[in-house]
Amino acid sequence: MPLTEMDSDRMPNHIAVIMDGNGRWAEARGLERNAGHRAGLENVREIVRASGDLGLKYLTLYAFSSENWERPKGEVSELMHLLEHFLEEDLEEAVSQGVRIRAVGRLDRLPPSTRTAVDKAMQATRRNTERHLILALSYGARAEIVDAARGLVRSVARGDLDPEQIDEKIFASHLYVPDVPDPDLMIRTGGEYRVSNFLLWQIAYSELYSAPVMWPDFHRAEFEEAILDYAGRERRFGLTGAQARSGSVKPPSDGVPEK
Ligand code: IPE
Ligand code: IPE
Ligand code: MG
């Protein structure tokens, strides 16, 4: 079934992607790892465009993890450079297409020029509400949870919050982008079956999909295949299959205020 004929209520609202395999892609071609990152960036453009065409509301891309800082200097600086390049080159397109760009992670660790490009993109697109592109940069989910805990402790210390009031909703409201709903689908390319410190809190009930191809080869067709696979699944959120099929299932609260 082509995606265009799919029931729109089976379309995920939020897809998160662990873009893995750039290095292996390059090594398999006898190229240096950075050539894989350059090819990976080209593919970011393709998947962002495809998401727009498919009407996907939220796309989160894992671009650089807390742990990736430990990679060789030349690789880290190429990744930062590519990121800046993407933010600068594609900003106009994002603005015109109503995409709001945000970055999540320990952004204070970014080199000044990368930080400037990130801030500029966030600022220029802050009024967009149509679609959301969230870039996880210098991001680690454990750090995000620690930062949320720190925020809560500060509120308690100020006397603004009673510890007894802290529940999952309040906790989630201290995460980096509390207005973004939890991912429905999490894709990892590169054939690996691990989470690597990505969105630990938010993926409690996400559907997982591992694609065998490396990120630079994960094109629109592979992306659509992942979405179709998702659309065929039954999400239960802890209930029985019969309850789930009755249509009354709701995912556990993700901290996004109810309308
Ligand atoms: C993903 O590709 C990009 C980043 C982690 C920044 P890798 O660079 O991890 O590629 P592999 O996993 O070594 O092939
Ligand atoms: C996850 O990939 C991080 C990003 C895609 C940015 P890694 O290549 O860093 O993960 P591991 O080392 O295989 O777990
Ligand atoms: Mg990797």
Extract the tokens encoding 33: 């790892």
pLDDT of residue 137: 98
Q: Terminus-to-terminus CA distance in the chain, angstroms?
A: 33
Residue 99 has pLDDT above 60, yes or no: yes
Q: Is 219 within the bounds of a domain?
A: yes
Extract the tokens encoding 240: 């029985």
Confirm or reject: Cβ of 155 under 6 Å from ligand 1.
Answer: no
Q: Is 257 within the bounds of a domain?
A: no
Q: Is 4 within the bounds of a domain?
A: no
Confirm or reject: Cβ of 23 under 6 Å from ligand 1.
Answer: yes
Q: Is 87 within the bounds of a domain?
A: yes
**CATH code, domain with 167:** 3.40.1180.10
Nearest atom within ligand 2 for CA of residue 139: 6
Which run of H or E residues covers position 153? helix 141-158
Just list the catalytic residues.
20, 68
Residue 228 has pLDDT above 70, yes or no: yes
What pLDDT, in 10s, does the model give residues 191-219?
A: 999 999 999 999 999 999 999 999 999 99
Residue 50 has pLDDT above 60, yes or no: yes
Q: Is 154 within the bounds of a domain?
A: yes
Nearest atom within ligand 2 for CA of residue 67: 9
Nearest atom within ligand 1 for CA of residue 27: 14
Mean pLDDT over 88-116 rounds to 96
pLDDT of residue 164: 97
Nearest atom within ligand 1 for CA of residue 20: 1
Mean pLDDT over 48-69 rounds to 97
Q: Is 1 within the bounds of a domain?
A: no
Higher-pLDDT residue of 248 and 38 is: 38
Residue 1 has pLDDT above 70, yes or no: no
Question: Using CA positions, which residue lies closest to atom 10 of ligand 2?
Answer: 196
Confirm or reject: Cβ of 196 under 6 Å from ligand 1.
Answer: no
Q: How many angstroms separate the alpha carbon of residue 21 from the centre of ligand 3? A: 5
Residue 252 has pLDDT above 90, yes or no: no
**How does the average pLDDT of the chain come out, rounded?**
95
Residue 3 has phi, psi (to 5 degrees) of -60, -30
pLDDT of residue 256: 78
In the structure, ligand 3 is a single-atom ion and the residues with CB under 5 Å from it are 20
Question: Using CA positions, which residue lies closest to atom 8 of ligand 2?
Answer: 20
Distance separating alpha carbons of residues 81 and 113, to the nearest angstrom: 9
Extract the tokens encoding 252: 């556990």
3-state secondary structure 224-247: HHHHHHHHCCCCCCCCCHHHHHCC
Could you say which DSSP state residue 255 is in? S
Q: Is 255 within the bounds of a domain?
A: no
- Domain range holding 70? 10-246
The count of domains in the chain is: 1
Q: Of the bound ligands, which one is closest to the alpha carbon of residue 40? A: 1
Residue 259 has pLDDT above 70, yes or no: no
Contact partners, residue 151, CB within 8 Å, separation at least 6: 174
What pLDDT, in 10s, does the model give residues 117-136?
A: 999 999 999 999 999 999 99
Question: Using CA positions, which residue lies closest to atom 3 of ligand 1?
Answer: 20
Collapsed DSSP state (helix, strand, coil) of residue 186:
strand
Q: Quick check: 196 and 18 in contact, CB under 8 A?
A: yes
State percent of the chain over pLDDT 90.
91
* Long-range Cβ contacts of 78-81 (<8 Å, 24+ apart): 78/34, 78/37, 79/37, 80/110, 80/111, 80/113, 80/114
List helix spans (H) across the chain. 22-28, 33-54, 73-89, 91-96, 112-125, 141-158, 168-172, 220-231, 241-245
Q: Is 67 within the bounds of a domain?
A: yes
Q: Can you tell me which residue has the tokens 């009673």?
A: 162
Strand partners of residue 210: 188
Q: Of the bound ligands, which one is closest to the alpha carbon of residue 62? A: 2
